[in-house]
């Protein structure tokens, strides 16, 4: 792993979207947004597409120790969303099922890539992923889910006297 180059989850998720056959066959597009309250990437493409893989470009995190080093833990969020015909329960269920299947395929690929030692994935916590399904009233006719995954990157917290003054 190259500690000087952090893992770029957004670029990785965009690549998964482009390479996944289910995403291609169902015209999913990749975009970014600033969290669940600001889904600007989806809104900008709402007239052009009905299916979205969206990566949040903001994270929450913390710094912690364990098992033998200090780490910055960033929680990354991705959305898998598809519009459905309002009032059509069958279409709603089909789109939600599709989003679930894409999530499962993405997780499978992340685990494979991690096992294949893809650059900088060794600190992606694929063994503890939280996901939540969204209701049918989300974004006026979208359904799907979002998932959150942690990236635990080593951080050097060694005190350096040269970084400080005596004032």
Structural tokens at position 21: 């056959």
Residues 57-99: pLDDT tens digits?
888 889 998 878 899 999 999 999 998 988 899 999 999 999 9
* In the chain, where the domains are located: 9-155
Structural tokens at position 149: 């995954």
Nearest residue to 41 (alpha-carbon basis) of 51, 50, 25, 30: 30
**Does residue 161 have a pLDDT over 70?**
yes
Nearest residue to 106 (alpha-carbon basis) of 125, 78, 82: 78
Residues 105-137: pLDDT tens digits?
999 999 988 877 666 677 888 889 999 998 766
Nearest residue to 36 (alpha-carbon basis) of 117, 162, 132: 132
**Cβ(82)–Cβ(51) below 8 Å:** yes
* Sign of the dihedral defined by the CA atoms of residues 37, 47, 136, 22, in that order: negative
The predicted model scores a pTM of 0.84
Domain 9-155 = CATH 3.90.930: no
Nearest residue to 51 (alpha-carbon basis) of 97, 11, 95: 95
């Amino acid at each position: 792993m190259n500690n000087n180059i952090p893992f770029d989850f957004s670029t990785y998720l965009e690549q998964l979207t482009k390479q996944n056959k289910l995403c291609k066959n169902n015209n999913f597009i990749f975009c970014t947004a600033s969290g669940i309250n600001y889904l600007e990437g989806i809104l900008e493409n709402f007239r052009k597409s009905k299916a979205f893989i969206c990566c949040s470009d903001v994270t929450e995190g913390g710094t912690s120790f364990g098992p033998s080093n200090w780490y910055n833990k960033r929680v990354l969020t991705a959305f898998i969303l598809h519009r459905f015909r309002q009032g059509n329960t069958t279409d709603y269920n089909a789109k939600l099922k599709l989003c679930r299947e894409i999530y499962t395929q993405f997780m499978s690929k992340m685990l494979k890539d991690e096992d294949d030692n893809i650059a900088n994935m060794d600190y992606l916590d694929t063994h503890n992923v939280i996901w939540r399904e969204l209701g049918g009233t989300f974004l006026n006719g979208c359904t799907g889910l979002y998932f959150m995954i942690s990236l635990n990157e080593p951080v050097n917290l060694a005190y350096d006297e040269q970084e400080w003054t005596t004032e």
